[in-house]
Amino acid sequence: MNILIIEARYHPDVADALVDGATPALEKGGARFERMSVPGVLEVPAAIAIAVRSARPFYGYVALGCVTGPAHIADMFYAETMRGLMTLGTSGIALGHGIVLAGDEGAAHDLAMRQDLGGDAARACLALCTLGERLGLSR
């Protein structure tokens, strides 16, 4: 099973913490994976949509990133990113997300590490891939 991790690098320490959780979870699940990066969270859904249309065969996707800042701006960035990811997910793409929303980068890093949000995203992706296999979908 080949998985693509798309990571938003705007907050590099948080992105690294998320990837540090996702990669062992994917390895434990027996998945092969590649990593690609985009500047920020708003580009994550677009990057996955591009990857889906590419000739490269990925069975699932892990979306990682972080949104911080003033609430009115951060909430908008988070909501739009989640809308894009949900649109992809409800179209049948196996997708786990680890998009962190926090007041500042330090709090986001703590959340990513303490709650293993990257690992959770990877496990969600693998669960959806397994569901697809059980239902006879192939990628």
- 126 to 1, 13, 95: CA distances (angstroms): 9, 25, 8
125 is a domain residue? yes
54 is a domain residue? yes
55 is a domain residue? yes
Total count of domains within the chain: 1
Closest Cα partner for 121 from 46, 43, 45, 61? 61
Instruction: Give the pLDDT confidence score for residue 138 in this predicted structure.
Output: 67
- CATH code: domain of residue 109: 3.40.50.960
Mean pLDDT in each 10-residue stretch from start to end of the chain (139 residues)? 97 98 98 98 98 93 97 96 98 97 95 95 98 86
Q: What is the reported pTM?
A: 0.96
Instruction: Give the pLDDT confidence score for residue 57 in this predicted structure.
Output: 83
Q: At what angle do helices 105-114 and 117-134 cross, to 10 degrees?
A: 50
139 is a domain residue? no
Instruction: Give the pLDDT confidence score for residue 139 in this predicted structure.
Output: 64
80 is a domain residue? yes
Residue-number span of the structural domain to which 59 is assigned: 2-134
Q: Is 29 exposed, middle or buried (0-12, 13-18, 19+ CB in 10 A)?
A: middle
Q: How many CB atoms lie within 10 A of CB 40?
A: 15
Instruction: Give the pLDDT confidence score for residue 56 in this predicted structure.
Output: 87
Task: Count the residues in the chain.
Answer: 139
